[in-house]
Structure 1
Amino acid sequence: MDNEKSLTAVEVAELLKITKNTVYELVKRGELPGYKVGKKLRIDKEDVENYINNQKITINSVNKTSITKNESMQNEQLNEMKKLESPNDIIISGQDIILDVLAENIREKVSDIRVLRSNIGSYASLYDLYYDKISISSAHLWDGDTNEYNTAYVRKLLPGIPCLIINLAYRNVGFYVAKGNPHKINTWRDLTSQNISMVNREKGSGIRILLDEKLRLNNIDREKIKGYSIEKQSHSAVARSIARGEGDVAIGNEKVARQVDGIDFVQLQEERYDLVIRQSDLKYPIYKLIIETIQSEGFKKEIESLGGYDLKDIGKILAKT
């Protein structure tokens, strides 16, 4: 097939000066022949020209308001044609290595869709998911009022958007301290000691939100914590800062603590690490493939080999919002 004679839905829309949705509707009604190349809708240029000529012949017998009516059709009626086209890119957002392994697994199974990574914190990831900047978000956001992870934040940050919350793992989180914990840092209130300085995580990260929620519930003034405004962008970065003596305490997960020499880990609680997918995206096969991959025994064994994760609920749908 000569590519110059084959047009996309967008190109046809530009030629006819209509919306892409109207092109889908014309194909659906059989007024404009269309076909798929892989997962993409294509229309021959010759068929577009024939359609234009037919409209010239029958213009007097056609209701001139039909296109306007077509464009006002409910989204529900257009969804079937939209399924002809899958997304070109899938962007998985979050900072854990589990997501890198997931992306690699999906890349091995698909060739026509790019699987990309965005390394930003949980809060910002959910925000980006709401604004369609990414495809899938990870989250480990603790809500102090419910003592639960993620569900409340997904409902608040993606209002009116039904989502699946799928578990990836559980991780221990706690304080990173110097070897031997010389300052005896064991509780949240210990952070206010004048003898210690902390290294914080950036706003929007799950650990930063955990800290701020704990400070709120314990009526601790953040301004009394030395180093509260010093921010690093990852668990590894804050752990290395403590190892270098740039601060006395930071907060992160146990897995990273075991990878950095010169620090000890003081466990505080177990956190839940989930994946958030919009239910409306399940019409695309790629999203179903991602869920099937997470639920597979092979993926579970691969994550087990990394160590440091509790995988008791991996792949389970824990909530629908």
Structure 2
Amino acid sequence: MSDVSYTTEEIAKLLKISKVTVYDLIKKGELPSYRVGKQMRVDAADLEAYKQRERGGSFSVLGDASDRTSSYTPMQSSVINGSRTIVITGQDISVDILSRHIEKTVSGIRPLRAYVGSMDSLISMYRGECDIVSTHLFDGETGEYNIPYVRRIFTGFSYLIVNLLSRQCGFFVQKGNPLGMHGWADLKKNGLRVANRERGVGSRVLLDEQLRLLGIKGDQLEGYDREESNQIGIAAKVASGEADFGIGNEKTAATVGNVDFIPLIEERYDLVMMKRQENREWIRSVMQILNSQVFLNELRSIPGYDLSKTGKIMFET
């Protein structure tokens, strides 16, 4: 057994918990881990030892976020190999770049990446399972990104919302746009087939909000309940002719090719951080990274990013 190890995704499936909860266990030191390239791995012996402790009732975190209570308990700082771990959520490559800069330049901090959608990330932060959340959630009532959701979830908390970047979001359509889709009102066309994301991610929330504003039910779109786990999968479905459209960003369309991109809205991709005393130093360091030319130049090499607000505080309590 000592030669067997598992990725965080495999641990999540074995224990039937979310990946964020796995990172929570690693962060608290309950699951010893080590890095292989970009992956965190846990030895089978350490997983078995954790399961034995859990059966003995010595630890109460086990269980997916949906099974946890709604009360918030501040997480104790975890120190592994002399470094405090912080969990960073998000699915965009810009978050990977930020995490790498933190690891290289912030002394005493060890970032762990969790590839989780916007809404699940905010809920996990509420429960104390992560430290930096990236989010791009559109609110149809206000036309605003992120702030309405964060304010509703974190009532009474002290936090910071900082812009990471902005980017164009819209329709992926087949080459030549045969159905002539140019705006949200085109969602009313009969017989549309959609390639859809899972609930809680930013592009799914954007589609659901636009459908709600137009008075359209999701089940009026063929394929609405068939979910893809990433935007590349969405664009690929459209490119292959299996769907008429999907929601995503310009960068993904350029990556996949063989699809046309119809820009409809500039989405703001923000970071949320809790303003606690023990977080003060690393938050200051993250702000310095966001405003550094080294970091900005690396993001500039990626097409489709608007960095005019990067590092700007969008909201603060």
Matches within 5 A, 1:250-265: 250-265=246-261
Calculate the aligned-residue CA RMSD, in Å.
2.2
The Cα offsets for residues 245-293 of structure 1, whole Å up to 9 and x where unpaired, read as 2211000001111111210001111111110011115644222211211
AA partner of residue 218 (structure 1):
L
Quick one: distance in 2 between partners of 1:235 and 1:293? 27
Tell me, in whole angstroms, the C-alpha distance in 2 between the residues paired with 1:192 and 1:269: 18
Distance 1:164 1:142, change over 3 A: same
1:236 alignment partner, SS class: helix
Distance 2:246 2:130 in 1: 29
Residue in structure 2 matching 1:314, options 295, 301, 310: 310
Match of 2:41 in 1: none
Q: Is the 8 A contact 2:106 2:285 kept in 1?
A: no
SS in 2 for 1:246: coil
The structure-2 alpha-carbon separation of the partners of 1:246 and 1:186, relative to structure 1 and needing over 3 Å to count, comes to same
Alpha-carbon shift at residue 112 of structure 1 (Å): 3.8
What does residue 61 of structure 1 align with?
Answer: none
What is the aligned partner in structure 1 of residue 205 from structure 2?
A: 209
Aligned equivalents of 1:276, 1:220: Cα separation in 2:
32
Alignment of 1:143 with 2:154, yes or no, is no
* Match among 132, 151, 159 for residue 163 of structure 1: 159
User: Which residues of 2 match residues 220-235 of structure 1 at below 5 A?
Assistant: 220-235=216-231
1:293 aligned to which of 284, 289, 292: 289
| Partner secondary structure for residue 199 of structure 1 | strand
Q: Which runs of 5+ in 1 are unaligned?
A: 1-81
Which has the larger share of helix?
Answer: 1
Query: Aligned partners of 2:233 and 2:276: how far apart in 1?
Result: 36
User: Is contact 2:102–2:109 with CA below 8 Å preserved after alignment?
Assistant: no
- Cα displacement string for residues 206-229 of structure 1 (whole angstroms, at most 9, x for unaligned residues): 111111111111112222111111
**Could you tell me how far apart the structure 1 residues matched to 2:244 and 2:252 are?**
17
How far did 1:111 drift?
A: 5.7
In 1, the alpha carbon distance for the partners of 2:170 and 2:288 equals 32
Name the structure 2 match of 1:179.
Answer: 175
Who is 2:193 aligned against?
A: 197
Alpha-carbon separation, structure 2, partners of 1:264 and 1:303: 23
**For residue 67 of structure 2, what is the aligned residue in structure 1?**
none
Question: Which stretches in structure 2 are left out of the alignment for 5+ residues?
Answer: 1-75
Distance 2:112 2:222 in 1: 38
1:130/1:281 CA distance change after superposition, 3 Å:
farther
1:154 aligns with 2:143: no
Q: Which residue in the other structure is 2:262 paired with?
A: 266
* Equivalent residue for 1:107, pick from 98, 103, 112: 103
Question: In 2, distance between residues paired with 1:250 and 1:105?
Answer: 32
Which amino acid letter does the alignment assign opposite residue 96 of structure 2? D
2:122 to 116, 120, 126: 126
TM-score by length of 1: 0.71
Q: Equivalent residues in 2 for 1:71-110 (5 A)?
A: 88-110=84-106
C-alpha distance after superposition, 1:123-148 (max 9, x if no partner):
11111111011111011111111111
Identity of aligned residues (%): 42
Residue 304 of structure 1 and its aligned partner are, at CA, apart by 0.6
- Given the two structures, how large is their TM-score scaled by the length of structure 2? 0.71
For 2:87, give the aligned amino acid.
Answer: I
- Indicate the larger mover: 269-278 or 113-122: 113-122
C-alpha distance in 1, partners of 2:89/2:277? 16
Structure-2 separation of matches of 1:222 and 1:88: 44
Does the 8 Å contact 2:253/2:261 carry over to 1?
Answer: yes
Measure, in 1, the Cα distance between the counterparts of 2:306 and 2:229.
24
Which of 269, 275, 281 is residue 271 of structure 2 equivalent to? Answer: 275
Shift of 1:87: 7.1
Letter in 2 for 1:129: M
- Give 1:151's aligned amino acid: I
